[in-house]
Amino acid sequence: MEMILASAIGVLTAAGVYLLLRLRTFPVILGLAFLSYAVNVFIFASGRLAIDQSPILSRYGEASYTDPLPQALVLTAIVISFGMTAVLVMIGLAAYFEAESDRVDIDQNDDRAEGGK
């Protein structure tokens, strides 16, 4: 089980970094989303994966339980990454409507890159 999770985290991280290095805004936004998914899975896996276990210690002294803190952190991170993605989409759309292109790099011969001179 740990090997599957480690592989999933590695694949999500590699896909996120690859998409972050693209020259278009939409793949960059998807790359940030993949990186946030990788971090969420990593945090969730750090809470010791235990199937059918309670998230609290019982009075009977069971040694196996699921740590609730990583679950709470992942839920918070999901909300934050959703808000961040929404803001980045709006910034990307505004840049697309102004420049009429979704490329990230700036052409040095473009008049708008020099402030309209």
Task: Read off the DSSP letter of residue 60.
Answer: T
Find all residues with CB under 8 Å of 58, minimum gap 6, and list them: 65
Angle formed by the axes of helices 68-99 and 25-45, nearest 10°: 180
Domains and CATH numbers, the chain: 2-49+65-106 (1.10.287)
Cα–chain-centroid distance for residue 40? 8
Q: Which residue has better confidence, 36 or 51?
A: 36
Torsion of CA 86, 79, 52, 68, to 10 degrees: 150
pLDDT at position 25 is: 87
DSSP category for residue 98? H
Is the confidence at residue 29, as pLDDT, over 80? yes
The predicted structure's pLDDT at residue 1:
75
Cα-based angle 93, 96, 98 (whole degrees, multiple of 5): 110
pTM: 0.74
* Residue 14: strand, helix, or coil: helix
Instruction: Determine the pLDDT at residue 55.
Output: 65
For 65-115, the pLDDT digits (tens) are: 677 788 888 899 999 999 999 998 998 898 888 888 787 766 666 555 555
Average pLDDT, the chain: 82
pLDDT in tens, 5-24: 899 999 999 999 999 998 88
> Which single residue is written with the structure tokens 């998409």?
19
